[in-house]
């Protein structure tokens, strides 16, 4: 069997293949290349120059509306930026702060005046800005931030103020050095009433001297575990006055006399609408994590395919690492996982583009998109850390050298799992949505829902699409139903007792959300297999999809068996099929399957995966033959 490499590569690159190629081309510029051991100073300076080059090439224009001079290409924008992770992850994140958060806040939360006044400078990076939402004391719970914006009708100004240390804005990219303004989230107070969190445009530094403006202070977050090309920092405000018009007033406005008005009556819905515009950060993290995982496996699998260690037996030649059963177990199910992540991300990106282009933009579509992103981003970002770590270990000491990229890449991506929505918090959001959907279904047909618990055990061949779908769907649904049943008494209790009951099942709810996300990945993978035309490619992808599906089942066997959804004999058969059938097929095509990611050697970078180890093995082999001849 031979894989149709070009066809598979095109499918993996997806709808915005050209934008991805553009991103990869940019990622190969010298200014993007990571320099092992560069200081924080050098790293920040290089990343700053990279953003200037991005703006010069108008990559920064992609997501802004044509009305503002942009290209309005939402999906293509994300696709292009995701690829820059292959060069230096700091660049995509600093760009994301500048254009995806700071600029996007002005665009999505502001109105025409704001767009006209600031967007051009934002796009051209003449106005670098920070996105000041998170506070030291409040990250996930944005609604409870402490910063206040109190309206003063006498001067028609808002007074931005930080009441205590925990309310300092923190971890903000562009805040430590380069930001000259910030979109600051604060509790809007007017006429003595708090209308909840709104966003304000606040100048923070003098354009010439880069010194803080009066009343503004801050600190550098200093060295981080990675991503040190981004100048994260803290900001605080001591009664800083800004004009009334600096309120980004699309979803809430204050009249000169202090009267508050909003197109959205519900305070809660207004808050979630404002935050919802930021979903693109989560979408892009899902994609960039997937790209980084592709790179990690490319390095580890190419190395494992040439590196030899230990003879297979007396007199036998040394064995290539990838021929070891344990090594296959370490890398190949993760390869299947990256394929699942890749196909699932493409579907998420298509959905995102539908909503943000306005082609399918209503409340329901937005909520579905947010749930979809909240389900996938945790799974892919955690998987990427796991994959980069396993890849690093699979390359041994060589994997620890900075030149081979795995360790620094993992260090940079570490923060992916807790920023732009902490993974556990996001999965809890998904879980709550699943509970709501379940409650609706229960209301519509309580008997049907209850009967689920008596539904027969899913049957069929373990490698059949129908069986895997039935089992994974059944699991996801049943886990939600179990939590729903356990929470039923909570509704009748006092709030504190209800919270305690919920709390006891929080872990199970998050597990249910994870199962839901895994099902989404499996479905996306299956759709991609179904859409594959080349017969041999389809066979290999089917084996890879089976490896993904059966690995999920093997990992979840404890739950499945304890709920009698899988028999003991079939659980053992899952492991036997993985080891005996699937790993041999996938091993045979493993190098092609990473070649299909199409990452050029210039972007792989790691010497061990781009020829150095192959040359060493060749030389060692020749030396052994020469010795044998003598």
Residues 92-151 that bind a copy of itself (CB under 8 A): 134, 136-141, 144, 146
Q: Is 576 exposed, middle or buried (0-12, 13-18, 19+ CB in 10 A)?
A: exposed
Cα dihedral: 516, 518, 521, 526 (round 10): -100
Q: Do 122 and 182 meet the contact criterion of CB atoms below 8 Å apart?
A: no
| Binding string, residues 594-623; x marks residues near a copy of itself by CB under 8 A | ---------------------xxx-xx-xx
Q: Do 126 and 269 meet the contact criterion of CB atoms below 8 Å apart?
A: no
Q: Which of residues 248-307 bind a copy of itself (CB under 8 A)?
A: none
Comparing CB distances to a copy of itself, the nearer of 227 and 348 is 227
Is 414 a binding residue for a copy of itself by CB under 8 A? The answer is yes
Is 316 a binding residue for a copy of itself by CB under 8 A? The answer is yes
> Which range touches a copy of itself (CB under 8 A), out of 35-43, 85-93, 208-216, 291-299?
35-43
Q: Which of residues 537-556 bind a copy of itself (CB under 8 A)?
A: 554-556
Q: Phi then psi for 248, rounded to 5 degrees?
A: -75, 100
CB of 450 to a copy of itself, least distance (A): 19
Cα 151 vs. chain centroid, distance in angstroms?
37
Buried b (16+ CB within 10 A) or exposed e, 91-106: bbbbbbbbbbbbbbbb
Q: Which of residues 186-225 bind a copy of itself (CB under 8 A)?
A: 221-225
| Binding string, residues 378-407; x marks residues near a copy of itself by CB under 8 A | -------x---x--xx--xxxxxxxx--xx
Q: Which of 209, 265, 314, 454 binds a copy of itself (CB under 8 A)?
A: 314
Size of residue set near a copy of itself by CB under 8 A: 102
Q: Which of 109, 415, 462, 550 binds a copy of itself (CB under 8 A)?
A: 415
> Which range touches a copy of itself (CB under 8 A), out of 203-211, 272-280, 557-565, 588-596?
557-565
Comparing CB distances to a copy of itself, the nearer of 116 and 622 is 622
Is 456 a binding residue for a copy of itself by CB under 8 A? The answer is no
Q: Give the whole-angstrom CA distance, residue 524 versus residue 375.
A: 13
Q: Do 377 and 580 meet the contact criterion of CB atoms below 8 Å apart?
A: no
| Binding string, residues 150-179; x marks residues near a copy of itself by CB under 8 A | -------------xxxxx--xx--------
Strand 181-190 and strand 129-132: the pairing is parallel
Comparing CB distances to a copy of itself, the nearer of 326 and 492 is 326
Q: Do 405 and 488 meet the contact criterion of CB atoms below 8 Å apart?
A: no
CB of 521 to a copy of itself, least distance (A): 20
Q: Which of 2, 30, 36, 488 binds a copy of itself (CB under 8 A)?
A: 36
Q: Which of 354, 422, 539, 592 binds a copy of itself (CB under 8 A)?
A: 422
Q: Phi then psi for 203, rounded to 5 degrees?
A: -65, 135
Q: Which of residues 346-385 bind a copy of itself (CB under 8 A)?
A: 385
> Which range touches a copy of itself (CB under 8 A), out of 18-26, 245-253, 264-272, 415-423?
415-423
Q: How many CA atoms lie within 13 A of 127 on its CB side?
A: 20
Q: Do 196 and 143 meet the contact criterion of CB atoms below 8 Å apart?
A: yes
> What is the full DSSP assignment across 479-531?
HHHHHHHHHGGGGGS-HHHHHHHHHHTHHHHHHHHHHHHHHHHHHHHHHHHHT
CB of 513 to a copy of itself, least distance (A): 11
Q: Give the whole-angstrom CA distance, residue 603 versus residue 610.
A: 10
CB of 564 to a copy of itself, least distance (A): 6
Query: 10 Å Cβ neighbour count for 551?
Result: 21
Q: Which of residues 479-518 bind a copy of itself (CB under 8 A)?
A: 495-496, 498-499, 503-507, 510
Is 324 a binding residue for a copy of itself by CB under 8 A? The answer is yes
Is 528 a binding residue for a copy of itself by CB under 8 A? The answer is no
Comparing CB distances to a copy of itself, the nearer of 9 and 389 is 389
Is 44 a binding residue for a copy of itself by CB under 8 A? The answer is no
Is 558 a binding residue for a copy of itself by CB under 8 A? The answer is yes
Sign of CA dihedral 288, 41, 234, 156: negative
CB of 471 to a copy of itself, least distance (A): 14
Comparing CB distances to a copy of itself, the nearer of 36 and 214 is 36
258: left (phi over 0), alpha (psi -120 to 50) or beta: left
Query: 10 Å Cβ neighbour count for 549?
Result: 28
Comparing CB distances to a copy of itself, the nearer of 330 and 589 is 330
Element (H, E) at 377: helix 363-394
């Amino acid at each position: 069997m031979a894989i149709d490499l070009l066809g598979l590569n095109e499918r993996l690159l997806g709808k915005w293949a050209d934008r991805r190629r553009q991103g990869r081309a940019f990622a190969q510029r010298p200014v993007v290349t990571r320099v092992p051991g560069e200081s924080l100073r050098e790293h920040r300076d290089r990343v700053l120059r990279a953003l200037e080059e991005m703006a010069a090439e108008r990559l920064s224009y992609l997501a802004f509306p044509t009305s503002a001079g942009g290209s309005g290409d939402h999906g293509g924008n994300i696709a292009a930026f995701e690829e820059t992770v292959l060069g230096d992850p700091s660049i995509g994140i600093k760009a994301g702060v500048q254009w995806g958060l700071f600029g996007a806040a002005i665009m999505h939360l502001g109105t025409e005046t704001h767009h006209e006044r600031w967007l051009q400078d934002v796009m051209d990076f003449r106005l670098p800005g920070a996105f000041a939402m998170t506070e030291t004391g409040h990250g996930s719970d944005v609604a409870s931030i402490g910063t206040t914006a109190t309206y003063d009708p006498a001067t028609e100004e808002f007074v931005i103020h930080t009441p205590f240390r925990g309310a300092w804005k923190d971890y903000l990219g562009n805040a430590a050095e380069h930001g000259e303004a910030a979109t600051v989230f604060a509790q809007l107070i007017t006429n003595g009433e708090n209308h909840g969190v709104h966003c304000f445009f606040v100048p923070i530094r003098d354009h010439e001297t880069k010194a803080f403006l009066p009343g503004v202070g801050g600190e550098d977050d200093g060295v981080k575990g990675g991503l040190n090309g981004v100048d994260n920092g803290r900001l605080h405000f001591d009664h800083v006055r800004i004009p009334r018009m600096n309120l980004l007033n699309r979803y809430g406005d204050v009249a000169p006399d202090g009267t508050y008005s909003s197109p959205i009556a519900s305070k809660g819905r207004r808050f979630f609408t404002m935050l919802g515009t930021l979903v693109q950060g989560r979408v892009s993290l899902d994609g960039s994590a997937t790209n980084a995982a592709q790179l990690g496996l490319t390095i580890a699998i190419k190395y494992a395919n040439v590196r030899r260690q230990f003879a297979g037996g007396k007199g036998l030649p040394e064995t290539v690492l990838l021929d070891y059963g344990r090594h296959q177990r370490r890398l190949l199910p993760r390869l299947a996982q990256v394929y699942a992540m890749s196909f699932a991300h493409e579907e998420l990106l298509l959905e995102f583009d539908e909503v943000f282009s306005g082609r399918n933009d209503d409340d329901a579509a937005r909520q579905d998109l947010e749930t979809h992103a909240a389900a996938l981003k945790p799974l892919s970002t955690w998987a990427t850390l796991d994959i980069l770590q396993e890849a690093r270990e699979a390359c041994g000491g060589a994997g620890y050298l900075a030149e081979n990229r795995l360790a620094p890449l993992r260090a940079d991506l570490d923060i992916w799992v807790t920023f732009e929505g902490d993974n556990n918090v996001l999965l809890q959001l998904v879980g709550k949505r699943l509970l709501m959907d379940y409650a609706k279904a229960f209301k519509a047909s309580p008997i049907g829902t209850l009967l689920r618990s008596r539904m027969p055990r899913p049957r069929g061949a373990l490698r059949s699409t129908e069986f895997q779908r039935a089992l994974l769907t059944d699991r996801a649904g049943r886990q939600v139903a179990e939590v729903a049943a356990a929470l039923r008494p909570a509704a009748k209790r006092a709030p504190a007792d209800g919270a305690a009951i919920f709390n006891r099942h929080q872990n199970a709810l998050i597990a249910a959300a994870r199962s839901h996300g895994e099902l989404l990945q499996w479905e996306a993978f299956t759709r991609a297999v179904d859409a594959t035309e080349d017969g041999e490619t389809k066979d290999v992808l089917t084996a890879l999809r089976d490896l993904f599906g059966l690995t999920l089942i093997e990992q979840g066997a404890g739950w499945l068996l304890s709920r009698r959804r899988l028999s003991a004999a079939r659980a053992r058969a899952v492991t036997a099929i993985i080891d005996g059938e699937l790993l041999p097929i996938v091993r045979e095509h493993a190098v092609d399957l990473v070649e299909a990611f199409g990452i050029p050697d210039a972007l792989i970078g790691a010497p061990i995966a781009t020829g150095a180890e192959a040359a060493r093995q060749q030389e060692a082999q020749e030396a052994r033959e020469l010795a044998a001849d003598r």
